[in-house]
A and B are shown apart, each in its own frame.
Chain A
Amino acid sequence: MIQSYISEIGRSAKSYCEHTARTQPTLSDIVVTLVEMGFNVETLPAYAKRSQRMVITAPPVTNQPVTPKALTAGQNKPHPPHIPGHFPEFPDPHTYIKTPTYREPVSDYQVLREKAASQRRDVERALTRFMAKTGETQSLFKDDVSTFPLIAARPFTVPYLTALLPSELEMQQMEETDSSEQDEQTDTENLPLHMSTEEAGPEKENSSVLQQSSSLAGSRNGEENVIDNPYLRPVKKPKIRRKK
């Protein structure tokens, strides 16, 4: 009952206020509503001043969760001028400001080099020792085979391949240095790079020639821009007349 009564008051008051082209109901809107609903407005002040009225205490502000002071490190940053004031404030600085927690980096060149060198040496030694332990070894001393183990020499089937081709590591390294040095050293670096691109051009041409000539199936038409190299020509079919 009370609920519908109150909501009816609210609804009507809102209609009155909207009727007068406002958005917020004023006291007079409510008075008109009450009057409309047949309530004696005159009695209201008296009711409000009655002696045994119930007082609803204000919510306890004091024990509101004290915004963790420990975390609010430092002052919230004020808004910069381009941000309107109504925007929310910046969060606490601790949520976005990094605090360096590691030690001062060792920037001493000497120590770094030392470290890199000994690290690499350790890795190499461990690796070679492991390889030596797991495989056949040769030794320089007859009485001792473990102090200076040499991985046994094993002949290759195709010895020149390992000897001539750069190892994968070197290839990788070369690519890295190539790309890194490209912007650093333009004067010297560009020459070989240009050359390689130039080389790449005719190669493509080559392959296209190959395709072309194979599609033409032997009937070469000697275009000037096409490389006519006998080794690139297709292999001919045997002549049938050979049968005797």
Chain B
Amino acid sequence: MNRKKGDKGFESPRPYKLTHQVVCINNINFQRKSVVGYVELTIFPTVANLNRIKLNSKQCRIYRVRVNDLEAAFIYNDPTLEVCHHESKQNLNYFSNAYAAAVSAVDPDAGNGELCIKVPSELWKHVDELKVLKVHINFSLDQPKGGLHFVVPDMEGNMAERGAHVFSCGYQNSTRFWFPCVDSYSELCTWKLEYTVDAAMVAVSNGDLVETVYTHDMRKKTFHYMLTIPTAASNISLAIGPFEILVDPYMHEVTHFCLPQLLPLLKHTTSYLHEVFEFYEEILTCRYPYSCFKTVFIDEAYVEVAAYASMSIFSTNLLHSAMIIDETPLTRRCLAQALAQQFFGCFISRMSWSDEWVLKGISGYIYGLWMKKTFGVNEYRHWIKQELDQIVAYELKTGGVLLHPIFGGGKEKDNPASHLHFSIKHPHTLSWEYYTMFQCKAHLVMRLIENRISMEFMLQVFNKLLSLASTASSQKFQSHMWSQMLVSTSGFLKSISNVSGKDIQPLIKQWVDQSGVVKFYGSFAFNRKRNVLELEIKQDYTSPGTQKYVGPLKVTVQELDGSFNHTLQIEENSLKHDIPCHSKSRRNKKKKIPLMNGEEVDMDLSAMDADSPLLWIRIDPDMSVLRKVEFEQSDFMWQYQLRYERDVVAQEEAILALEKFPTPASRLALTDILEQEQCFYRVRMLACFCLAKIANSMVSTWTGPPAMKSLFTRMFCCKTCPNIVKTNNFMNFQSYFLQKTMPVAMALLRDVHNLCPKEVLMFILDLIKYNDNRKNKFSDNYYRAELIDALANSVTPAVSVNNEVRTLDNLNPDVRLILEEITRFLNMEKLLPSYRHTITVSCLKAIRVLQKNGHVPSDPALFKSYAEYGHFVDVRIAALEAVVDYTKVDRSYEELQWLLSMVQNDPVPYIRHKILDMLTKNPPFTKNMESPLCNEALVDQLWKLMNSGTSHDWRLRCGAVDLYFTLFGLSRPSCLPLPELGLVLNLKEKKAVLNPTIIPESVANNQEPVISSNNHGQSVGFQNTEDDHLIKETASSISGHQQGVKRKADMPLGSPLEPGQILEKNEDSKVKLKIRFSNSQEEEEIDMDTVHDSQAFIYHHLNMLERPSTPGKEQSSGEITMHPVSAAPLSVFSKESNSSKHSDHHHHHHHEHKKKKKKHKHKHKHKHKHDTKEKEKDPFVFSNSPASARSIRSPSLSD
């Protein structure tokens, strides 16, 4: 981890250099979802005594390894399969540490890997001469759960007719899931890729397609790809399916692929791509680095956009026809994003994880430039503001996103992200949301750098990076040059200072090396005597996620005489800033007022303060600090700002501020903006919602028709009959978006009884009724969907008399009308489905709103049927969201179980991820809440999910961790019975606090092993075990063997085999394999011995109490005698010092106080636990890893 970063360039963590890799997939079986193939790595040792080669491989079954045609022994060990073997320590803090340790134990950037190959002794001499080695690995994959995703529709016909396809996917470096490799972004090599597929299929992969050859039986063909540009394994991808091929009519090197029948959509969707190409090539003054580019659109995508070397994999749902308005900009954005990552991310790779921000930053930044050019400055600034708001909100909520984590000595104190419940040392331990925000912050910081050094220099730096890389990539046989294609933070900063000559170190220190955003509070007073504006700017830098800002800050003051920029120096103690004003207040003279952009306008100045020349003030108008500004100025100033400031960001800020000033003047300002056609449409849309809020606040004094109604009538209804909307014509997109939004905002209006005015509801119903799209060139599906959203917005809680059951008879007549529409729309969707089923989505949401407001009986059955596999993904997500909401509102255990089982079993990775995400965002309960759902079985279930159930998908596992954190917090879940003994270990402070209930002798025995296994076990262990390795190997192979036997005995028939198990079999029968346990685990084993004893003790202890301990504990202790003096790392859980008190209380509480009361419940619990135990015994759902079986059983056996 602690790589030296300096001017010397890249130092490989591996004792060898990979120069070339062959991947050959001979057979792909769609029916069985299996893959058979081999890889061949050409490596040059860089040290003389290389005797181990560590590679990455997950879920692959490895049959045979040969090094220079000699059989080689190998060991497969993956600690991430099951992170914690101590079933009992169910606190997240412990898990996170263990998980981070496990991930770094196989981290290729630290020179580690799951697969360790022993170089045959015959070759040692060969190695000492540093001669080339060829490592040949035969492997297969059976029903992969991650990495490769098979989509096989269940219907008639052969695989090609069914549209079956397979593609690689994953989060960050996940290539190890589908073939053995060095799964690092920093190990570059050239590639030869071969795929033999059905003759009706096409295999799309990286590099140039050299040739396609039939097999002898002419039923299959082999695609031969060559990738001569050195590329990291993590950027290798594959998509196989019966794709339709479209050569881009503008650029013949670009080929697009889509699933059958979608070719017309593909043509339309990709017809724009060449412009993106031109744009990037022009600004970077660099040709696209690869000789070809391929886009593949596939179903059940893992992410919408995934960029790999010379190809990108997109979700098929991005395809659209010319009739669709809303999807078009979104899809184009995705295309542009993918292309930006081709330059930075695929072609230029990163040295280490801590340099990731540079790549994400640059690709995000040039994507932003493209956006500015394509959608205009307004859209760009709006986007920047949106991203800024997002990152600020996230950092303030969770406590900071660190772009460039540098890790010191690995001590816990240095942990830069102690506020987080996961480790940021490794991409695979990151929460997905954090990673999204990380990318967002990266490009915002790039923009800050641009502000500092100018765009011209910025582009020069990019050009320099690219040209260095392309020179390096053309050096075919000088693999040491290839590290020029890797970017590092220091290298990037160095070229910035070389090119621009400017020192941006403070900026980097502030935003890159440090996490947090700035929070400003501003207020002002005008000193009339001195004609000075006294501005006070305070900062909050004590709350989590904030930091102190010192440096320049731009303030723009609009006065009567014009707009003036002032740069203030924000310093430690200066809060007040005096800004001299240029103009005397002179409101009598009728003169035009010059604006920032040079425009001169007439203003009605009657609203402003007679004494002050100030119209409005803006702090940091260019968003050159990552900040949140809360600025106080009077309502008329906000109104002036809204009306006359030309910057859309200022307008949006003004609109948000005006929500607090429900006055007729605000109303007028907003209405004027709404009507102004030159105004940016997003501002107008925002104004709609603000107007609705203001109208609600002013409900008692509101005069005239409901807000926006007359406006809508004027803009979109017929002249002769104002109650009928014109037939749709969406040629003008601005008014289209406004037409969509206004009804949604109007439906939020409430009258004095807090009901939606009847007039508004009827108006919306009329819009639906008279909607006529026959003459329209565009589809109106989004418009209709928003009308349904409007209906849903108009729903207010039902007046219920003593909780009566909701039936049809007591249905509110208004709701009946709404329901009528929803029913009709939803049914029509079955016959004439809309694009992306937007209408179904809106209907489902509306039904949930009706349920939630008590108009319709709350029932998840409908949603569950729509959430099933086989519905369109948007529909499923909407339905699942409703079920998640139901789970929360109705506290339904059954639904929660249903959701969690879907997380485990659903075929679509995105859905699995999304369920966890939605549960985290809308949790059924949180850590501080009492809930009937919070019980031991659930803790156990989730624990297993993140501990071992999601080892095939990093993103999913991190999602499970997030959910666990939201539900139970960092420490031991409160619903678990407190352990009777054990010690409280505070991991952060490395302090062990004795649980008051524990017997004193245990401390001395156990404290040490626990700490060692927790904190430095795996990561440190790996480095210094190389030497004494051989000796240990023999010893451990014996125990390994025993374990194999034992495990097999335990294994129920028909349970899925994991790679580790196969190894065991091999060991017994054919190839002589040796199992070696990583040092960490050996330590753990030592640990486990004691743990085991203590567990036994606890078990018995608990048995006496007639209450099982923690759930999920295996019944290992039946055969073991009780050790009277033992202790339990089992009970280790980190809580602050008050935990002892708490536990005391809880203990007491549990034993006496509740005994009577909860007798029944108690029994039930017990029974339930019994169930879970049995469940666990049966198919080893999660714990069939080589490591897991050892964890508790092996000591007993070797005893």
Task: Mark A residues whose CB is within 8 Å of B.
Answer: 109-110, 113-114, 116-118, 121, 124-125, 127-128, 131-132, 138, 140-144, 147-167, 169-170, 173-174, 177-178, 180-181, 185, 188, 192, 195, 198-199, 201-203, 206, 227-233, 235-239, 242
Which B residues between 868 and 883 are near A, CB-CB below 8 angstroms?
868-874
- Of chain A, the residue at the smallest CB distance from B870 is A155
Q: Which of A132, A181, A227 contacts B252 (CB 8 A)?
A: A227
What CA separation (Å) do A125 and B671 show in the bound complex?
Answer: 38
Q: B322 — nearest CB in chain A belongs to which residue?
A: A192
Report how far A205 CA is from B1139 CA in the complex, Å: 76
Residue from the list A149, A154, A157, A238 in contact with B153, Cβ < 8 A: A157
Secondary structure class of chain A's binding surface, majority of residues: helix
B262 touches A164 (CB 8 A): yes
The smallest C-beta distance from B573 to any residue of chain A, in angstroms, reads 60
Residue contact A164 to B862, C-beta cutoff 8 Å: no
A128 touching B824 in the complex, CB below 8 Å, given contacts A140-B859, A199-B249, A236-B213:
yes
5 A-B pairs with least C-beta separation: A155-B870, A128-B827, A230-B209, A202-B249, A110-B721
| B873 interface neighbour in A155, A159, A201, Cβ under 8 Å | A159
Query: Which residues of A have CB within 8 Å of B869?
Result: 155
Q: Are A155's CB and B255's CB within 8 A?
A: no
- For residue B216, CB closer than 8 A to chain A, the reply is yes
- Cα A167 to Cα B721 in complex, Å, equals 32
1/0 contact trace for B175-218 toward A, CB 8 Å? 00000000000000000000000010010000011111111101
Q: How close is A187's CB to chain B, nearest CB, in angstroms?
A: 10
CB neighbours (8 Å) of A158 from chain B are 153, 155, 163, 299
Please name all residues of chain A whose beta carbon is closer than 8 Å to the beta carbon of B153 when the two chains form the complex. Answer: 157-158
A136 to chain B, nearest CB (A): 10
**Once the chains bind, are B245 and A138 in contact (CB under 8 Å)?**
no
Please give the distance in Å from B1199's CB to the nearest CB on chain A: 53
Q: Which residues of A contact B868 (CB under 8 A)?
A: 153, 155
Which of B12-20, B443-451, B771-779, B1052-1060 is the contact stretch? B771-779
Q: Do B299 and A160 touch (CB < 8 A)?
A: yes
Query: Is B320 engaged at the interface, CB distance under 8 Å to the other chain?
Result: yes
Contact yes or no, A140 B832, CB < 8 A? no
Contact mask B750-777 → A, CB, 8 Å, 1/0? Answer: 0000000000000000000110111111
Q: What is the distance, in angstroms, from B1116's C-beta to the closest C-beta of chain A? A: 43
Contacts of A238 in B (CB 8 A): 213-216, 218
Bound CA span A135–B874, Å? 24
27 contacts between A and B (CB under 8 A): A110-B718, A110-B721, A127-B831, A131-B827, A132-B827, A138-B861, A140-B847, A140-B856, A140-B857, A148-B819, A148-B820, A153-B865, A155-B870, A156-B872, A157-B155, A158-B299, A162-B872, A164-B317, A170-B323, A177-B775, A185-B731, A195-B271, A203-B249, A206-B247, A228-B252, A230-B208, A233-B211
Cβ-closest chain A residue relative to B820:
A148
- Residues of B787-829 at the interface with A, using a CB-CB cut-off of 8 Å, are 806-808, 819-820, 823-824, 826-828
In the bound complex, how far is the Cα of B1144 from the Cα of A31, in angstroms? 161
Q: Which of B214, B322, B779, B833 contacts A162 (CB 8 A)?
A: B833
What are the residues of chain B within 8 A of A116 when measuring CB–CB? 772
**What's the Cα separation between A157 and B833 when bound, in Å?**
15
Contacts of B823 in A (CB 8 A): 128, 148-150
Chain A residue numbers with a CB within 8 Å of B299 are: 158, 160
Query: Which residues of the partner chain B approach A157 to less than 8 Å between Cβ atoms?
Result: 153-155, 162, 870
User: With an 8 A cutoff between CB atoms, is B595 at the interface?
Assistant: no
List 11 additional A-B contacts (Cβ < 8 Å) besides A177-B775, A238-B214: A114-B770, A121-B824, A141-B807, A149-B823, A153-B865, A157-B155, A160-B259, A170-B323, A188-B731, A199-B249, A230-B212
Residues of A within 8 A of B323 (CB): 166, 170, 174
Complex contact B202–A231 (CB within 8 A): yes
| Given A153-B865, A165-B262: A141 in contact with B252 (beta carbons within 8 A) | no
The residue on B at minimum CB distance from A230 is B209
Separation of A169 and B835 alpha carbons in the complex (Å): 13
Cβ–Cβ < 8 Å partners of B253 in chain A: 229
Report if B866 contacts A (CB, 8 A): yes
List A contacts of B320 (CB < 8 A): 164
- Chain B neighbourhood of A138, CB < 8 A: 861-862, 865
Q: Report the separation of the CA atoms of residues A227 and B807 in the bound assembly, to the nearest whole angstrom.
A: 67
Asked if B777 and A160 make an inter-chain contact with CB atoms under 8 angstroms apart, the answer reads: no
A157 vs B823: C-alpha distance in the bound complex, in angstroms?
Answer: 24
Main DSSP-derived SS at the B contact region? loop
CA distance A206 to B247 in the complex (A): 8
| Contact-size category for B | 35 or more
Closest to B868 in A: A155
The answer to whether B836 and A109 have CB atoms under 8 Å apart is no
Determine if B837 is an interface residue (Cβ-Cβ < 8 Å). Answer: yes
Interface centre among A113, A173, A202, A233, by most chain B C-beta atoms within 10 angstroms, is: A113
Min CB gap B1142→A, angstroms = 45
State whether B807 touches A199 (Cβ < 8 A).
no
Query: Are B321 and A109 closer than 8 Å at their CB atoms?
Result: no
Residues of B within 8 A of A229 (CB): 247, 252-253, 255
B807 touches A143 (CB 8 A): yes
Q: Which of A155, A156, A199, A236 contacts B211 (CB under 8 A)?
A: A236
**Residues 1083 to 1133 of chain B near chain A (Cβ within 8 Å):** none
Known: A153-B865, A153-B871, A181-B777. A232 touches B245 (CB 8 A): yes
Q: How far is the CA of A155 from the CA of B866 in the complex (A)?
A: 8
Q: In the complex, what residues of A have CB within 8 A of residue B850's CB?
A: 140
How many Å from the CB of A109 to the closest CB on chain B?
Answer: 6
| Contact call B827/A163, Cβ cutoff below 8 A | no
Residues of B within 8 A of A127 (CB): 831
Interface status of B316 (Cβ within 8 A of chain A): yes
Determine the chain B residues whose CB is within 8 A of the CB of A164 once the complex forms. 262, 265, 316-317, 319-320, 835-836
Question: Is B267 part of the binding interface, using a Cβ–Cβ cutoff of 8 Å?
Answer: yes
Query: Is B938 close to A, CB under 8 A?
Result: no
B948 to chain A, nearest CB (A): 30
CA separation between A86 and B299, bound complex, in Å? Answer: 83
Q: A141 to chain B: which residues have CB within 8 Å?
A: 806-808, 856-857
Contact partners of A233 in chain B: CB under 8 A: 211-212
Is B596 in contact with chain A by the CB < 8 A criterion?
no
Contact of B835 among A163, A198, A242 (CB under 8 A): A163
Contact B769 A121 (CB under 8 A): yes
CB under 8 Å from chain A, chain B span 716-730: 718, 720-721, 724
The interface residues of chain B lying within 8 Å CB-to-CB of A185 are 731
The residue of chain B having its C-beta at the shortest distance from the C-beta of A158 within the complex is B153
B827 near A155 (CB under 8 angstroms)?
A: no
The residues of A that contact B777 with a CB separation of less than 8 Å are 174, 177-178, 181
Q: What is the chain A residue whose CB lies nearest that of B807?
A: A143
> Is A144's CB under 8 angstroms from B772's CB?
no
Hey, which chain A residues are within 8 Å of B857, CB to CB? 140-142
Q: Are A117 and B772 in contact (CB under 8 A)?
A: yes
Q: Chain A residues with Cβ under 8 A from B824's Cβ? A: 121, 124-125, 128
- The answer to whether the Cβ of B1159 comes within 8 Å of any Cβ in the partner chain is no
Closest residue of chain B to A178 (Cβ to Cβ) is B777
Contact residues in A for B856 (Cβ distance below 8 Å)? 140-141
The complex places the Cα of A114 from the Cα of B721 at a distance, in Å, of: 11
